[in-house]
Amino acid sequence: MLVLGGCDSGGSTSSQDTLEPPEVDATNTDTVSDVVVGESPFGEEVVGVKLELTAEAWAAILAAPLDETFQQGAIEYDGVRVENVGIRVKGNSSLKSVADSGSTRFSFKVDMNEYVSGQKLLGVKKLNFNNSFKDPTFLREVLGYEVATWLGLPAPRTTFADLTVAGTHLGLFVVVEQVDSEFIERTFQDTTGDLYKPEPPAGGLAYTGDDALTYTGLELKTNETTSDHSAFMALLKALDSQDAAMIEASLDVDRAISYLAMNAVLTNLDSYNGPGHNYYLYEEGGRFTVIPWDMNEAFGAFNCGCDRTGLVEYPIDEPSCGRLSERPLLGAILDNAEWRAAYHERMRAVLDGPLAEPGWSARIAELADRIRPTVQADPTKFYSETLFEQALTQDVTLTGPMAAISLGLGAFAAERGASVRAQLAGTTPSTAATDGACPSNSPNPCGDGVCDAFETANPQACPRDCGG
């Protein structure tokens, strides 16, 4: 990985015969292991997973979780075992909240390549185990990626795991595929392109000059030593110009429309629409495709300072947490009549497709039935079984480090769907005329120049109010 601009990086699978990995010097990352082959790790049932660490390695993680340092261990995934893997905790605000609370229910990243180059588990090099921070249903991330996949976006695969770490049973986690070279091989024909993971401020995709090295927050995940970043700079210049032909030469516009329409319908604001992160860009033949990432706060869980009404009625033609001018990708789509019409039609397709009843409620019920026994047996879950059941359909109040109102998946989808349809029909406003702020959020909405309590606790929600 190359970090540009001086920013620090932040059906069940059946058991397979395992290949014994070689003895490995933990300091040697050049050893090439035999590849563990088998079915995909992303099946239809909750899988049992053990992350094995020595007492010393686990203690090192717990002593400094915010360092996100890899420790050497092993993984056993539904009976398939791989030694000499890297294990670390992961996250941003969720990581700090868990660390401050004294819980050990961190999210984890497992890298089969950290100590043994070329090593894989069931065809993947990395797996993420997410703790469902701020989501008592455990379903937001899975459902979000299902909508993305339905729209034809290249999206990570998911499943559920009953996770044990260092001998401690932690319970139900969401397993998410890593966007990396294996993901690119699965989803794209040309696997030689540049893969970026933009973070703020570069993640807004605003053109500020010709030198890619000055774009703080821009992480290159492939071709770190060979890329000249010319394709990325061409994309920024195209978005800055708002010239349709230039943009089409540098961007898969159709998939970008799908991505932005999905964010709008699902009120997925912890994304490009909000802080300007939680997405990847992959370049294929000079054109970039947007890849969604980290959708655990979809369906209004990340509120950008909005109250409930503001989230339900979030304006589809001004769907940014700040100034629309600070999100040139959004501006490019919305300012082009043809693309704007396609964006609107894509939202209708989501409402008439995966979010349509009775299918939406049936899918929620199906997934809830699948994970319910594991939720009930989960000894470290952030929320009670009662909140799990209630949050499937109705709003619930969360307390503790994740204090918030969690919008019920069923109720929110229905109300949001009605609001989007009304905006599309022109019977309610589709812009807020407040430069990205929620008109219903008072007395201190985003953009008022006041760094209020919410914005202080969530500095990425409205950086312009808090001097970011």
| 96-138 confidence digits (pLDDT tens) | 888 888 899 999 999 999 999 999 999 999 999 999 999 999 9
The residue extents of the domains of the chain are 11-141+155-183
| 403-458 confidence digits (pLDDT tens) | 678 999 999 999 999 999 999 999 999 997 666 656 555 445 555 445 655 556 65
C-alpha separations of 459 from 164, 305, 323, 410 in Å: 33, 10, 16, 29
To which H or E segment does residue 284 belong?
A: strand 279-284
DSSP three-state, residue 218: strand
Q: Give pLDDT, residue 1.
A: 63
To which H or E segment does residue 287 belong?
A: strand 287-292
- What's the rounded Cα separation, in Å, for the pair 119 and 127? 13
Q: Give pLDDT, residue 40.
A: 85
**Burial of 1 per CB tally in 10 Å (0-12, 13-18, 19+):** exposed
Q: Give pLDDT, residue 322.
A: 84
Q: Give pLDDT, residue 30.
A: 42
How many beta carbons lie within 10 A of that of residue 55, not counting itself?
9
pLDDT mean by block of 10 residues, the chain; 468 residues: 52 33 39 53 96 98 95 97 97 85 94 96 97 96 98 98 98 98 97 97 97 96 95 98 98 99 97 96 98 97 89 94 91 98 99 98 98 98 96 89 82 96 96 67 50 58 56
